[in-house]
Chain A
Amino acid sequence: MKKSFVAASIAATLVLSTSSMLAHSAQTNSTSEKWKNTLQKAKGQTVYFNAWGGADNINDYIQWAADRIKDDYNVTLKQVKLTDTSDAVNRVLAEKAAGKNTKGSIDLIWLNGENFRAMKDNHLLFGPFSQTLPSYTKYVDENARQSLTQDFGTPVDGMESPWGMAQVIFMHDTATLSNPPKSIPELLTYAKAHPGRITYPEPPQFLGSTFLKQALYELSPHRKALSQPVDSVDFDKITAPMWAYLDELHTVAWRSGESFPSSSEEMMRLLDDQEIDVALSFDISAASVQIDKGNLPDTVRSYVFTGGTIGNTHFLAIPYNSGVKAGAQVVANFLLSPEAQIKKQTPTVWGDLSVLSYTKLSKDEQAKFDALPRGIATLNIEELGKTLPEPHASWVGALEKKWRQRYAQ
């Protein structure tokens, strides 16, 4: 009797576990079935990928991906080179205004932060889709970084697929400046000792706004408030130390704070021309790439602040009215594959940090990542140090508005 009970219970457990296993495999079957379907649908489609086109090496990388995608999936990828991502946001908006809810002109956009928030809040995006991409489920660890699930404090909710990671780095020419300032207060001390040699890009250029966030993070005693929407906190009180700091900095800044560079690229040019001593970038391999192109002397090196610098993730999203959503997903999935991510992180190609989880990769793929050469002026992961989180997306607009009110009138 007892025996039979044991047997029955074993049998029951077996049955239960098998059935759950069966259910599980049925589920994976259905997702892979679905993906097969997507692949099938994508065949022959042309995906218009709207991406910032200001850097040759990035454009070349996209072209490489396009060739690979054409070969493997029979999907044609065409880059539409933007000067400003908001052009694409505007275009989707125009299409919505005209009632063009299918076959829109944009199939994939490279974006993050404010542009993502604007598109998500105004229901201009297709999704959620990213969490069902095979590369995502297989290689992305959502817990690895907050910025994978919170794009500037806006929940991603699968509405965009991660593509790469960025972090603020600083560049200096070791021939003229051997011991660069390594924090926001040190930067001011240096500027006072060397008037006209320190500056930062003009907000609302995103790197300029990021500099403000970096300063805010280091100077404000109320760091926790930064992760909350700006309406819910006392903006003036939190930002007061930063404005006092900027007032002081501008008097000794490049061109006396009357004028500011428009971008990271302009800052690097000014560094090369020796007008300024420290340049910023969001691209950790920028210095190596520019040295290679002859745009910076080979004595330039990158560094980060001792207390860490702001970092974030950039993404790919599909507009709600794209006519080739299957093709767009195939592209997003390919760009998230280890092959594409390894290529992208190669310093001579782009040097953009991978969003994949190292531990989820196979041994072989890990070895490939380990073997990546590093540019002469590119920092490794340990040297990049601590990544500071982006404040909530609502801070960007508030900081930019206030900055222009104070310094642009």
Chain B
Amino acid sequence: MPLKHIQWITGFITVLLALPIVIGLVGTLLPAFHYFPPLGEYDFSLSPWYNVFSQGEFYAGLKLTLITGIGAPVLALWLALSLLAWGYQRPFFKKIEALLSPILAIPHAAIAIGLLFLLSPSGWIVRLFSPWLTGFERPPNWITVQDPYGISLIFALIIKEMPYLLFVMLAAMKSIQARESMQACQALGYSRFTLWRKVLIPQLYPIIRLPIFIVVAFSLTVVDLALVIGPNTPSTLAVTLFRWFNDPDLAMRYTASAGAIFLMITIVLTLGGWELAHKVFSAMTRCERSNGKRHGVSDILLGTGVILGAFTLLSAFIALILLPFWSLAKRWRFPDALPSQWTWDNIERAAPLLMELSANTLIIALFSTLIACAISLLMLEIKRHSMTNSANPSQQYAFDWLIYVPILLPQIGFLFGLHVLLIYLNLNGDLCAIIALHLMYVLPYVYLTLKGPYLAYNEDYLLQANRLNNRPWRHYVSVKIAMLKPALFTAFAMGFSVSIAQYLPTLIAGEGRYSTLTTEAVAQAASGDRKQVGSMALLQAFFPVMVFWLAQIIPSRWTEWRLTIKKRLKKALTKKDKTCSA
């Protein structure tokens, strides 16, 4: 991208991003110190902090948060790497890749409800074997979900995070010379898992570090998933905060704000610890990596990961397949493995709202994702520019870490402060405000998905093209963007599905006046009615699944289509010319 005024552009975008974040933060920070004019509190005090630290539930929730919030990403990373190492460049793996998108696209609450039905004592697995094998005429009194150790929550988090990591890794693989490394290593006699562990994973990890951080922050702060499938006595810290923020006793807001600040600090510390652990780990394994052994213990580790990963994916799919069944069920009682009575009523009931909801959802998702793509391209180009031109190639712009702040902060504490800003600006309840708020959440994912491939792009193609014929803008589009198509489409699909799944931002910016498929689905999820949730989740997943599918299909066929269209146009034009001249 031939850019001028780089400093000015980065400055402007950074301010644009920083402003809402800062104001949102201040809106949480001030109540955390007991300053809150609408409730008539103008004096600073530390009492919210005393309150937080005197709640037993806070410590129990924190412990649970740390277990699930660190356990889930570690396991998800392990399983994703195992699956990648096992299947990369194998023909059938392409099919699994294509199947990832529905899991990525389905909103958390829906997948959690699906899992709940699969795994609970009255769930589908027990139904399948009851009563003929288990002898259960009625469900056993087991704690298979919402267990106090958070195991079911960790499982649900892995199901949501592993496909995301796998997706990001697959995109990032394009920017390391994987095939060459694999061929070289295999020629030297390294086993598949060993070469991945010694050569490819160390190259891959730095590229996907930020997605991992996002996954960690997500695990620590997730609310909707934890509400459905997480333990509730105690619940994770994020859920506890959510409850405090919603307490009818408005004075609890101070305690909640202090807790939200504490959760942010926890996130920062956890990420710091994670980074440190990685440094220590890679230092410890350095000599092991270069000892020349062609096989190792880690092969078993990766092998186990494959089995567990496959099992996880399988349960996710079964959970997802069961949801549509619910949307068609009238009676489906334990221990029936399939509904005993079927009906179209559930879908019919959802139908009238469909047009309006779909229109709102699509407008918001399309605009926010397109803007996010444009900003990401711009900022990445500036970054590439500075990497090649400046004396300090590793120089980081504020933008680089600033865009992650919104997704690293607990939504509820931060959005309330932002809402006040929207009201000041008289933008509340406005479609533009919803799009802007979605942009904050979409942008980091788009930027991240695009970052690896974009920065790894070999600029020589562009330079050659410009040497032949100096048309920088045209070549930027027709050479660079064209070559980055797969990454761009993937980034778009990712942003699109993130936008679709947003609940709180839509509600807060739109003040409930713009309903989307997600706000409707979450409102229905409040009913706990699996039939309604099943039908809504189906509709909600439809668009992202379509977009992901298109993102896989279009880039590989684009050139073919473009050329065909061009040829036909040309034919038509020459014909026209001929008729004209004749």
Interface residues of A (CB under 8 A from B): 48, 50, 52-56, 78, 80-84, 86-87, 89-91, 93-100, 105-106, 113-115, 117-118, 122, 176, 195-197, 202, 204, 254-256, 258-260, 262-263, 265-266, 269-270, 272-275, 293-295, 297, 397, 404-405, 407-409
Contacts and interface: CB of A to CB of B under 8 A. Distances in A.
Interface in B3-59: 36-39, 56-57, 59
Given A82-B523, A91-B511, A404 B232 contact: no
A295 B333 CA distance: 9
Interface of B: 36-39, 56-57, 59-60, 121-122, 138-139, 141-143, 146-148, 227, 231-235, 243, 245-250, 329-331, 333-334, 341, 343, 345, 349, 416, 419-421, 423-424, 428-429, 507-508, 511-513, 515, 519-520, 522-532
Contact of A54 (B60, B331, B507, B524): B524
B139 A90 contact: no
A97 B349 CA distance: 39
B522 A86 contact: no
Contacts of B38: 93, 96-97, 122
A216 B156 CA distance: 37
A230 B122 CA distance: 41
B247 A259 contact: no
A294 B531 CA distance: 10
A45 to B, nearest CB: 15
18 contacts: A82-B523, A95-B428, A113-B248, A117-B248, A118-B249, A204-B247, A255-B141, A255-B143, A265-B526, A269-B529, A273-B139, A274-B139, A293-B531, A404-B233, A405-B56, A407-B233, A408-B57, A408-B60
Contacts of A293: 345, 529, 531
B529 A202 contact: no
Given A204-B243, A273-B139, A105 B513 contact: yes
Given A83-B522, A294-B330, 10 more contacts: A97-B423, A100-B423, A122-B38, A122-B250, A195-B141, A202-B232, A204-B243, A255-B142, A404-B57, A409-B234
Contacts, number: 179
A255 B39 CA distance: 41
Given A54-B524, A294-B341, A259 B122 contact: no
Nearest to A176: B138
B349 A294 contact: no
Given A98-B420, A265-B527, A397 B249 contact: yes
Given A81-B519, A297-B333, A273 B420 contact: no
From A52, A94, A113, A265, residue with most partner B Cβ within 10 Å = A94
B146 A80 contact: no
B246 A260 contact: no
A324 B57 CA distance: 42
B139 A269 contact: no
B419 A105 contact: no
B429 to A, nearest CB: 5
B513 A258 contact: no
Given A262-B232, A263-B528, A256 B141 contact: yes
From A99, A195, A407, residue with most partner B Cβ within 10 Å = A99
B139 A86 contact: no
A297 B341 CA distance: 12
Contact of A48 (B59, B250, B513, B522): B513
Contacts of B333: 272-274, 297
A115 B231 contact: no
B423 A295 contact: no
Contact of B527 (A54, A405, A408): A54
A87 B510 CA distance: 13
Contacts of B248: 86, 89, 113-115, 117-118, 397
A55 B331 CA distance: 18
A182 B147 CA distance: 31
A50 B507 CA distance: 12
Contact of B138 (A48, A90, A274, A397): A274
